[in-house]
Amino acid sequence: EKWDMPMAYSGSNFHSVTGAEFAKCVTTGTQGEIEIVTHPSGSLFPGGQIKRAIQTGQVPIGERLLSGHQNENAIFGVDSVPFLATSFDDADKLWSAAKPTLEKVLADQNLTLLYSVPWPPQGLYFRDEVNSVADMEGIKFRSYNNATARLAELTGMLPVTIEAAEISQAFATGVADSMVSSGATGYDRKVWESLNHFYEVDSWLPRNYIMVNSDVWSGVSDGNKAVVQACAGLAEYAGTWRAVQYTDFTLKGLRDGGMNVAPASDQLKGELQQIGETMTAEWLEAAGPDGAAIVEAFKASKAE
């Protein structure tokens, strides 16, 4: 049986590489009974359509940045609450805390979660030096969803909507002067041609999730299920390892490109932490008791 697996990011991206290895592992492990074929670069479905495509059985399996769907259910944005989990370790703990709830929410949508790999931590890009929230006043900030627009609002910046494809041009022509994104995005888009500062504030680590259609999943034999799950475990481990490696690599790349890459000043860090608390509270309001339970479990596991 052939499983087409749409993925949104380019073939050389580490998520796509991890997905390709997962596909190979499943194909070999099930001796071809399940043959997974990955379709990177959004060549089958673009990112925004992948979840629905799996849900409705248009494809059996696929990868999606779930926080893209937080308008639909705030729980999907759990990995993107600013300054809640700010390191790979924290992100891992948050993922463990959120996993049962996410599985439940996705199960209601006919989706079975297989594995999840984080993106490198999100930092702040600026054209000019910024040492405090006051310095951000009025800067044109690229927002791409409600959470990033809210972040701009709370820091006094001006959110402007720029499509991913137009990022480089928007910075080159001054349509925008800053954004929040991982070092990887800046490296891929070569933003050092226009922007000069990257602050490693590690505001959050969004995750990609690999999901399979539950009807398809229930038709898989127990033996093959075990193979797929084992491959998923391997992929999650390998993908996370790659994310860590890639973070160092891209930050070095930004430096080599001529950007000033450094942690934020203590003042800025403190101020951002406060904004993070505001945004966590707002998220909790939207996510209800499920969200509260996740954050509680996360904080408990951090205290251990």
Partner 1 sequence: MEDFSIIILFLFVLFLLLGTGVWVGLALMGVAWVGMELFTSRPVGDVMITTIWTASSSWTLTALPLFIWMGEILYRTRLSEDMFKGLAPWMAGLPGGLVHTNIVGCTVFAAVSGSSAATLTTVGKMSIPELRRREYPEPMIIGTLAGAATLGLMIPPSLTLIVYGVTINESISKLFFAGILPGLVLASMFMAYVAISSRVSKKWNPAQEPPMTLGQRIANSRFLLPVICLIMVVIGSMYLGYATATEAAAFGVIGGLVLAASQGSLTWQTFTESLMGATRTSAMIALILAGAAFLSLSMGFTGLPRGLADLIAQWELSKFQLLMVLLVFYIVLGMFLDGISSVVLTMAVVEPMVRQAGIDLIWFGIFIVVVVEMAQITPPIGFNLFVLQGMTNHEMGFIARAAFPMFLIMVVMVFVLILFPEIATWLPENLRQAPGGG
Partner 2 sequence: MPLAKRLRTALDFLYLGSGILAALCLIAILILIVVQMLARWTGEVFPGAPDYAGYAMAAASFLAFANALNRGAHIRVSILINAVGPKAQRIINIWCFAIGTAVAWYFVRYCVDFVYWSWKFNDISQGQDRTALWIPQSVMLLGAVIFAIALTDHLISLILKGDHRIQRDLVDQSFGE
Strands 111-118, 260-262: pairing kind? unpaired
3-state secondary structure 101-113: HHHHHHHHCCEEE
Strands 122-126, 178-182: pairing kind? antiparallel
Whether the CA torsion 189, 192, 196, 202 is positive or negative: it is positive
Q: Determine contact, residues 58/10, Cβ cutoff 8 Å.
A: no
53 binds, among partner 1, partner 2, none (CB under 5 to 8 A by kind): partner 1
Residue 194, CA atoms < 13 Å, CB-side half-sphere: 18
Which one, of 44, 54, 35, lies nearest residue 7 by Cα? Answer: 44
Q: How far apart are CA 21 and CA 27, in angstroms?
A: 10
Judged by CB under 8 A, the residue of 18, 182, 194, 240 near partner 1 is 194
What minimum distance in Å lies between the beta carbon of 270 and partner 1? 28
170 binds, among partner 1, partner 2, none (CB under 5 to 8 A by kind): partner 1
What minimum distance in Å lies between the beta carbon of 231 and partner 2? 29
Binding mask 125-154 for partner 2 (x = CB under 8 A): -------------x-x--x-xx--x-----
Q: Determine contact, residues 279/82, Cβ cutoff 8 Å.
A: yes
Considering the rule CB under 8 A, would residue 268 count as an interface residue with partner 1?
no
Q: How far apart are CA 143 and CA 150, in angstroms?
A: 9
Question: Which of 40-48, 86-94, 203-211, 268-276 is the region at the interface with partner 1 (rule: CB under 8 A)?
Answer: 40-48
Binding mask 5-34 for partner 1 (x = CB under 8 A): -----xxx----------------------
Considering the rule CB under 8 A, would residue 216 count as an interface residue with partner 1?
no
Q: How far apart are CA 82 and CA 123, in angstroms?
A: 11
270 binds, among partner 2, partner 1, none (CB under 5 to 8 A by kind): none
297 binds, among partner 2, partner 1, none (CB under 5 to 8 A by kind): none
Which one, of 70, 36, 34, 78, lies nearest residue 51 by Cα? Answer: 70
What minimum distance in Å lies between the beta carbon of 118 and partner 2? 20
Binding mask 154-173 for partner 1 (x = CB under 8 A): --------xxxxx-xxxxxx
Q: Determine contact, residues 205/122, Cβ cutoff 8 Å.
A: yes
Match 């194909």 to its residue by tokens: 27
Tokens representing 291 are 């969200």
Q: Which is nearer to partner 1, 53 or 66 (CB)?
A: 53
What minimum distance in Å lies between the beta carbon of 148 and partner 2? 9
| Site for partner 1, rule CB under 8 A | 4, 10-12, 37, 39-46, 48-49, 52-53, 56-59, 127-128, 162-166, 168-175, 188-190, 192-196, 258-259
| Site for partner 2, rule CB under 8 A | 48, 52, 55-56, 68-69, 71-72, 109, 138, 140, 143, 145-146, 149, 158-161, 163, 175
